[in-house]
Structure 1
């Protein structure tokens, strides 16, 4: 009888420990850019999200392509900022910093949702384009961590 009680208590303890755990998953790729910078991109892959290892890289969810990204020279970031501010077909949706990187988020022709990111500590930027929706573009961007790797 004591053995059954102890076994039951042990099972409850194990169940309690396991149910309190959360799992997270991510995928990281390191890219060497033409200018020599080494950029590391980590994507939270929970809920069916994935990132490809080729350039341009693709972010997908459950096999559906959502965003496509590529690398630009650092000075091109300011050119994107200038174009977004001047082009009547571009609507600035957000700008700021995430993970130490400056970014802008805009809609072009009410059909393309784009991020330009200037990677802190590097001479590299990332362009991330999405034709699905603003929410889809935001979700992909928020799942990413972009960092420069030291040589």
Structure 2
């Protein structure tokens, strides 16, 4: 782990708000030159703090009006390998995120669907038929706010 100074933290906050900004624009806003900004970005990438820049799609604008978080408890631990389950669930296009978690459930999934009947189809025909699936709990997303992250 590297020590972050105030400028590194400011740079990370600026990138978290808008990762499409050029190094020149970031530098101007932070009082740095473009080369100095690039050096800091490269340092943060090399240290593994920055792990790429991701595009966030608007699922609703693309016709996916429902987001559901599923908690999945595997029924037969040991009989089906975690890797097999992860590979199978990751192949389902509506599953946006697969998280192996500790707690009441073994996995937490983020699933998008066009509407509730579409989600029911995905759940019944794709997710519930996966090897090892036992208990499933669904939580429908009502609203989502983006937080600034750990650097606040």
> Which of the two has greater helix per residue?
2
Which of structures 1 and 2 has the larger relative contact order (alpha carbons within 8 angstroms, sep 6+)? Answer: 2
Shorter chain as denominator, the TM-score bin is: under 0.3
Give the structure-2-normalised TM-score.
0.24
Give the structure-1-normalised TM-score.
0.25
Structure number with greater Rg is 1
